[in-house]
Amino acid sequence: MDKDFSSLFSSLEELLRKIVEDAVAEALKRNAEELPRYPENVSVAQASEITGYTRNSLYQMHSRGTIPGAKKVGGKLLFETAVLKKWVDEGGRMI
* 25, part of any domain: yes
Number of domains in the chain: 2
Q: What residues pair up with 80 in beta bridges, in sequence order?
A: 41
CB atoms near residue 79 (< 10 Å): 26
Q: How confident is the model at residue 1 (pLDDT cuts 50, 70, 90)?
A: low
| 18 and 50, same domain (yes or no) | no
Domain that holds residue 19: 1-35
- Cα torsion angle, 80, 83, 85, 91, sign: negative
| 52 and 79, same domain (yes or no) | yes
What is the pLDDT, as a whole number, of residue 94? 44
* Distance of alpha carbon 29 from the chain centroid: 13
Alpha-carbon distance of 35 to 16, in angstroms, equals 29
Please state the pTM of the whole predicted model.
0.57
Residues 16-66: pLDDT tens digits?
999 998 888 887 776 656 656 778 899 999 999 888 899 999 999 999 999
Alpha-carbon distance of 89 to 82, in angstroms, equals 10
